[in-house]
Structure 1
Amino acid sequence: MSGPRYVPYAVRQLNRANTRTATISPYAARRQQHFVRSVATVTAIGALATGWQWYNGRGGILREAHAEEPPPDPEMKFEKPRKKGLSKDANRDLISSQHLQVRRSWENPGVYAWGSNSGRVVAPDSSEANIRTPRRIPFFDGLLLRDLKMDRTFGAAINEKGDLLQWGTGYSKDSNSPEVTLRGKNLTALTISKDRILALNSNGDVYSLPVSKEDQEKGVKPSESSWIPFWSSSSPISYRRLSPKDLPWGERVTSVSAGLEHALLLTSKGRLFSAAAASADFPTKGQLGVPGLTWTTRPEGAYDQCHEITTLRGFEISKIAAGDYHSLAADKDGRVFGFGDNSLGQLGVDYSPESSFVDAPSLLPIQKLYAGTSQAPKVTDVAAGGANSYFTIEATKIAAPGQADDASAQRGLGRVTADTWSCGQGIWGTLGNGRWTHVQATPTKIPALSGLFEYDEAAGRVVPIRLSRLSVGTNHVAAVMKNVTHTGASSASSENDTNWGADIVFFGNNEFYQLGTGRRNNLANPTYIQPLDQVAERKLRGKEEHRFQITPRKTVDVGGRRVSIEQRVECGRGVTAVYSGL
């Protein structure tokens, strides 16, 4: 097997070709009749000429006939012989672009970025306004990261040591390379708001610090304990701690997600908290999930204190996502709740002219999406960005009422179909359904990411192709498929045994070339892009076209040590990045 069998686009094109029909106009019909008469006349003249020649031949006036020589057989072209003495990996690189991509991602870890460079984020050492195709950021060559987030004016990343790196004009107008800002906190994950960075560490502590270097230097610097007993000192930079009150022993924050002005904090016990996350603006669109909470009604204390969303008590929340001004939360039983701004239908419920937002968690009617299908849906993940929401759903076939004894209805029971749905603003193509809908309140299925199956040779059966992850920027999206991958090619396996990664597609707004296609047109259908390292590709295959596949997690040798790494994609505001993640 040389690669995945996931080809939804070719299949759709074939289906379109098979379903086309043609109609004939009256004018075309008259021309067709005239053509038939002409053919009949020419045929009659030809028959008379043939009879005349036959008659002359019988009379002894035979004419010499010269038959044309048949055209020579076309020359068969064979594949050029491979160079002798090639190593197994060199041979694999020649026969598989996917193998080359996987190998180079292990041997040359780093960050590729593209899109708007107005804030010198995707190319800190360049003055170009936009970076049209993936380009490496030299600073990160050979480095592994725990997390990375980008905005048009600033970037933030966590290095292998757990320290925070920042760059871009939003951080400092003089910035031309990432700098370490928050040290020694063992950070594990990041999220960003309009003007602050929220970083989670391994103990569940959440640090909120301003993006601006000037604000970090001039702001209030908290006291920090030292390794020396009874000794403390001020932090080198200004930051705040976001801490949910009265967490019992053993409960800690495990996940964070932020919009422009708010943040969601999920604990290990499935409880959900929210907090203000911007320095200048307090959330006003209900995205905190606390009815009636405003700047004037907030309780005493810090403006960015954490508030438990008590409406969700009793639901063990497992997934969270924040758009610009709205929030999503899914529980372990597959239910999903939304709250915040709904002016473009991003909560998956009809817009109400009486109020453009919902300030208390509202249960989305996911069951209605599968009414009459004999399928039981369960939400497995949520994603959000800008004014859009996305839900991945596993729909299991069940027996319809009254068909328990119907043999035909019993076929396929228990079969799982993996679907992806979207709602909200679609004017940029971010719904992914091929349409440019301004407002989409009822979730719509993304055909290219739904109902897909492939044969898994290891399992010996057909399996659904699930979605591994969605990364959502303000108005563009990257989708990583969870198709069958292979990273087991080794010196012990055949020279034709190649590695391949996971399919990744992009769609939505492309104003700043953030989709990575090299063109500026928006895309309402998910599409592939070319490999990240096109120079390496062309050295082996010239201009032969291949698609980018992202490398799944694998333990490999990096710099003489064994490390478990994978490639990850991040979409921000008009920017996109792929990095080597721990």
Structure 2
Amino acid sequence: MLASRLSARRVQYSTLFKHQRHFSSASYGLQARLSSRKKIGALITVAAAVATVTAVSASSKVHNDAPADAPSISKDSLPLSRTSVAEELATFVWGSNQNGTILPSSKPSPKSIRTPFVASHLSGVALRDLAFHEKHAACIDARGDVYQWGDGFFDSPGASEEKEPKLTLRGQDITHLAVTHSRVFALSRAGQVFVLPSSQSADIPTTTTESKPSSSWLNWIWKEDKNGRPVELRTDIEMARRERIVSISAGRDHLLALTSSGRTLAHPFSKNANSHGQLGTRKVYYQAPSPADVPSDRVQVHVELVPLAQLDPYAKSSRVSRQPSSDAESTLSTAALEGVQHCNTLFEIPSLRGVRIAQAVAGDRSSFVRTEDGKVLGWGANEYGQLGLGASFTMECIPVPTEVTLSRHYSARTPRKCIDITAGGDVAFFTIQRQDYDAPPVIDILACGMGQWGALGSGQYTQAQGSPVKVKTVSGLLEFDETTRSLQPIRPDTISVSPTGHVLFAFEASSGPVKSPAADFGRDLLSWGANTEYQQGNGKKTNVATPTYVTDWDKKASSGSEPEAVGEESRLMLRGTRVAEVKDMSGKRVLRNAVVEQTPVAGWNCSAIYWRVR
């Protein structure tokens, strides 16, 4: 048997060698008969054929996880769903457009956008940040310049229909924005905090225009407006070497800032900045013009901002109008309170001195900080339980930072810590990481505060929630990671909370040790909460109490008429891509071969998805 197999194998090998020798001799004879000119022509033809076959095979390659309608793209980029490569940097908006904040240049301007629609004034560009308020909006382009628009910014209803976003701050390398009803705060990469008015005709109510020179070389060619250089906030503490402000967060009347050394600062820009103790300090001062007999050109006016609940504890329990005591009346004089809007200083919170803070977040009338070991402290307004201090804690004003207990859902033996805080309006979210024994870590989302319109995501419309409840739909999720070959938690990437009561939630692209947006095949986007102005993007006006996928419609922009949803409904997926170039708002190229990713933002009764530069 074995001998017969070996003889058969020899016959096969001999036959193969004969064919090979025949092919070699034939090729040699063909080459010998060709002239030198014919040899060059044959080589060129063969090379062209090989290149053509290689290109065709590369362009026709289809991966098993690619969508059916995926166009031909390079391996370093991924297209946006249902858009071509040229339209991949499209910004989608939906919700209220009463003041021209999401579609300022359309004629006639629609009052509301029911489903995600392409915003022409922000398409084709990637931004660093985007923010919407009630009557005005602002963004930072890829160069770091600030643009503002909206009826509130142009000072007249309907004026935004004829005006595009206006450049208001240039050459400062801005990285983050915080918008309020009267101001826009801009944080630069160097750690400077600039203040811009929310209206183009309004001046910042301050008596100083001093500002440190920008590190950008573009600043010397920028012609400042009639107000001079932009106003920069100073600090009442001496900053250490290389210490700078790394984050800002604004509420209704106060601003929180965090330095790279973990120090927490607060800034009042209204007489109600400490109405519920949200400022964290009562003693502030501002610069005012000095009398004629004082040689100095400026003097400091000290003001003590007493919370209203401490000034009159029974204000809400009695209908009788009572005057404050003489001491409080002298302390809170009308002139002094009105002068607080002239303040241009960031004050360190006294009770947090010596405590290294990792994150500082401002709610509407409340404040939160997260320590490096994962503990949470909160203070300010608490009438809806937005501080998360418990259902039995009925005090409406907490002027001192108090630890938030997050152990209601866990046993005493379960290690846990807070890794992120998100607040907006009267709602707060805490991202908790826990691990039970040898099980993989798990990420939970806890919510507390005002849930009348379903903003808590718990499936109930609870008006006040003092004990943080778990958002079950997006909590405790695991996935198998092929890189580590183990279960990993599905982490949240973005939680954006609107001041008016709706939430946008996006999962992280990958749970592995290295996250690459360029290799991202899509992230789910969920929303819940208020929907009276179509801010959920589902074409309805019914409030949603549980996280629901945002629908993606085949959008076709049409000028001169109100945009309508056309096509088949599906889930909207957030994506990352690599683009050949990134332009600023003026159309000039800023970056090449840059990585950008879609980022959701929940604004004032509106929502948007824009491309953010990494």
TM-score by length of 1: 0.73
> How far 1:249 moved relative to its partner?
1.5
How far apart in 1 are the matches of 2:528 and 2:144? Answer: 32
How far apart in 2 are the matches of 1:361 and 1:210? Answer: 30
Corresponding position: 1:581 with 2:612: yes
Q: What is the aligned counterpart of 2:467 among 413, 422, 442?
A: 442
- Contact residue 123 and residue 131 of structure 1 kept, 8 A: no
Q: What is the aligned counterpart of 1:548 among 565, 572, 576?
A: 572
The match for 2:595 is 564
3-state SS of paired residue (1:170): helix
The match for 2:80 is 101
> How far 1:138 moved relative to its partner?
1.0
Cα offsets for 1:25-74 (capped at 9, x unmatched): xxxxxxxxxxxxxxxxxxxxxxxxxxxxxxxxxxxxxxxxxxxxxxxxxx
Corresponding position: 1:152 with 2:134: yes
3-state SS of paired residue (1:360): strand
How far apart in 1 are the matches of 2:177 and 2:91? Answer: 16
> How far 1:518 moved relative to its partner?
1.3
3-state SS of paired residue (1:171): helix
The match for 2:90 is 110
3-state SS of paired residue (1:369): coil
Corresponding position: 1:189 with 2:176: yes
3-state SS of paired residue (1:139): helix
Which amino acid counterpart does residue 348 of structure 2 have in structure 1? E
Matches of residues 74-153 of structure 1 in structure 2 within 5 Å?
Answer: 87-88=60-61, 92-94=66-68, 101=80, 104=83, 107=86, 108-126=88-106, 127-153=109-135
How far apart in 1 are the matches of 2:375 and 2:473? Answer: 24
Cα offsets for 1:364-421 (capped at 9, x unmatched): 112343135x4211000000011001000001114xxxxxxxxxxxxxx252111000
3-state SS of paired residue (2:144): coil
Cα offsets for 1:270-325 (capped at 9, x unmatched): 110111144x6433111111257517479999535212112223332112221111
- Contact residue 103 and residue 121 of structure 2 kept, 8 A: no
Runs of 5+ consecutive residues of structure 2 not aligned to the other structure: 1-56, 72-76, 284-303, 307-330, 558-565, 583-590
- Contact residue 250 and residue 363 of structure 2 kept, 8 A: yes
Q: What is the aligned counterpart of 2:552 among 512, 527, 531?
A: 531
The match for 2:19 is none
The match for 2:305 is 294
- Contact residue 322 and residue 328 of structure 1 kept, 8 A: yes
Corresponding position: 1:267 with 2:292: no
How far apart in 2 are the matches of 1:103 and 1:390? Answer: 33
- Contact residue 480 and residue 504 of structure 1 kept, 8 A: yes
- Contact residue 93 and residue 99 of structure 1 kept, 8 A: no
How far apart in 2 are the matches of 1:228 and 1:507? Answer: 43
- Contact residue 116 and residue 152 of structure 1 kept, 8 A: no
Which amino acid counterpart does residue 117 of structure 2 have in structure 1? R
- Contact residue 112 and residue 532 of structure 1 kept, 8 A: no
Corresponding position: 1:315 with 2:297: no
How far apart in 2 are the matches of 1:123 and 1:89? Answer: 38
How far apart in 1 are the matches of 2:115 and 2:511? Answer: 25
The match for 2:418 is 379
> How far 1:556 moved relative to its partner?
3.7
Runs of 5+ consecutive residues of structure 1 not aligned to the other structure: 1-83, 399-412, 491-497, 537-541
- Contact residue 453 and residue 463 of structure 1 kept, 8 A: yes
Using the aligned pairs only, state the percent identity. 31
How far apart in 1 are the matches of 2:419 and 2:538? Answer: 30
How far apart in 1 are the matches of 2:93 and 2:393? Answer: 41
Shift in alpha-carbon separation, 1:193–1:393, aligned structure 2, 3 A: same
The match for 2:427 is 388
How far apart in 2 are the matches of 1:527 and 1:349? Answer: 28
- Contact residue 259 and residue 324 of structure 1 kept, 8 A: yes
How far apart in 2 are the matches of 1:195 and 1:388? Answer: 22
> How far 1:106 moved relative to its partner?
6.3
Shift in alpha-carbon separation, 1:531–1:427, aligned structure 2, 3 A: same
Cα offsets for 1:251-274 (capped at 9, x unmatched): 110000001111100000011011
Corresponding position: 1:346 with 2:386: yes
Which amino acid counterpart does residue 385 of structure 1 have in structure 2? G
How far apart in 1 are the matches of 2:523 and 2:547? Answer: 15
The match for 1:335 is 375
Cα offsets for 1:345-381 (capped at 9, x unmatched): 0000147898411111110112343135x42110000
Corresponding position: 1:514 with 2:535: yes
3-state SS of paired residue (2:125): coil
> How far 1:531 moved relative to its partner?
2.4
> How far 1:461 moved relative to its partner?
1.6
The match for 1:13 is none
TM-score by length of 2: 0.69
Which amino acid counterpart does residue 465 of structure 1 have in structure 2? I
- Contact residue 251 and residue 363 of structure 2 kept, 8 A: yes
The match for 2:276 is 285
Shift in alpha-carbon separation, 1:221–1:122, aligned structure 2, 3 A: farther
Shift in alpha-carbon separation, 1:217–1:415, aligned structure 2, 3 A: closer
